[in-house]
Amino acid sequence: MRNIVILISGSGSNMAAIVRAAQRDRWDEHLNARVAAVLSNRADAPGLAIARDLGIPTAVVDHRAFATREDFDAALMAELDRHAPDLVVLAGFMRILTLGFVAHHAGRLLNIHPSLLPAFPGLHTHQRAIDAGCRFAGATVHQVTAELDHGEILDQAVVPVLPGDSAEALAARVLSQEHLIYPRAVAEFLRGLSSN
């Protein structure tokens, strides 16, 4: 059985979409995969309660308890490795990962970013898209590499930028599409692993 571990920092809505898809579509039977755990860097992340309600084990590795990013990533890797992950899925995990962490999980680390990469890597993507006069925005599922938001693109969703849009309104429209494409991209990635 392939183990998926999902990392969150907040509400966990993308994590919940993935877990529900895994349960609904019987990934255990059809893809030989399961969501084995949900980890967070914040003990107060609302997504932890959602994961527990969905029957997924959770753990917290609080980044504030570590003096350096490297120390935190080492502790996070140790906790991750307890679950023997075949795939690590970042779902609103708001930490920039060290090169060592990315190398340790190379080829099995996915992220979703709220823009149509390569446009607008980094933060404040929705406001930046509005400020640039974009007519379309969206979300991208990609593999994680050492360069922030630059890995191979696995899936994208496009939404219109409407006249008078606020960053919040655009973000909500993009998020609804994230909940569709992220589970789909994870399932496709798992199918690719099965064929290798």
Q: What six digits make up the tokens of 109?
A: 């680390």
Pairing of strands 153-160, 136-143: antiparallel
Contact yes or no for 100/140 (Cβ under 8 A): no
| Residue 126 amino acid letter | H
Q: Please tell me which residue in 83, 113, 126, 179 is annotated as part of the active site.
A: 113
Taking the C-alpha atoms of residue 8 and residue 1, their distance in angstroms, rounded to an integer, is: 22
Q: What six digits make up the tokens of 11?
A: 């509400």
Q: Is 124 annotated as catalytic?
A: no
Cα pseudo-dihedral 158, 144, 192, 13, rounded to 10: -60
Taking the C-alpha atoms of residue 15 and residue 168, their distance in angstroms, rounded to an integer, is: 20
Question: What amino acid positions are annotated as catalytic residues?
Answer: 113
